[in-house]
Amino acid sequence: MKLSLLAAFIATIFTGALLFLLRAFPFLVFSKKDPPAIIRFIEKYIPSMIIAILIVYCLKDIHFASAPFGLPSILGIACTVGLHLWRNNAMVSIFGGTIIYMILNHVM
């Protein structure tokens, strides 16, 4: 199915407006009062849980019994942790660890 230029334009405008409203909704709802306890819980604990899930997901397919014994992944994670402790910047940590992993994965 092919969209006309007008239909694509209308869909883009509608999607942009809906995305803006969805992103603004929490600020509109919680701007005048304290958020409920469940929102505070999510805000406090979910980021750590997501990171733990991502680490397990990244390590699930590694075969530690055969070469290179998961070395690119382990060194990439170690680099990410080290960069984050050193610079305390999520973007530097993520990009640095990813670059190290990609280089080691290509070389090994």
Phi, psi of 70 (to 5 degrees): 75, 15
Q: Looking at the structure, do residues 21 and 45 belong to the same domain, yes or no?
A: no
**DSSP annotation of 62:** -
Q: Looking at the structure, do residues 14 and 59 belong to the same domain, yes or no?
A: no
Condensed to tens digits (0 to 9), the pLDDT of residues 43-97 reads: 899 988 998 898 898 889 888 888 888 999 999 999 999 999 999 998 999 999 9
- Range 1-9 average pLDDT: 91
Q: Looking at the structure, do residues 29 and 47 belong to the same domain, yes or no?
A: no
pLDDT at 10: 97
Residue range of the domain that includes 25: 1-33
- For helices 90-107 and 71-87, what crossing angle results, to 10°? 160
pLDDT band, very low/low/confident/very high, at 102 (cuts 50, 70, 90):
very high
Q: Looking at the structure, do residues 42 and 15 belong to the same domain, yes or no?
A: no
For residue 75, what is the enclosing H or E element?
helix 71-87
Q: Is the pLDDT at 31 greater than 90, yes or no?
A: no
pLDDT band, very low/low/confident/very high, at 13 (cuts 50, 70, 90):
very high
Q: Looking at the structure, do residues 28 and 12 belong to the same domain, yes or no?
A: yes
Q: Is the dihedral of CA 107, 60, 67, 93 positive or negative?
A: positive
Q: Looking at the structure, do residues 53 and 92 belong to the same domain, yes or no?
A: yes
Residue with the bigger pLDDT between 33 and 46: it is: 46
- Range 95-102 average pLDDT: 94
Q: Looking at the structure, do residues 52 and 94 belong to the same domain, yes or no?
A: yes
Q: How many domains does the chain have?
A: 2
Q: Looking at the structure, do residues 62 and 25 belong to the same domain, yes or no?
A: no
Residue position matching structure tokens 């092919």 = 2
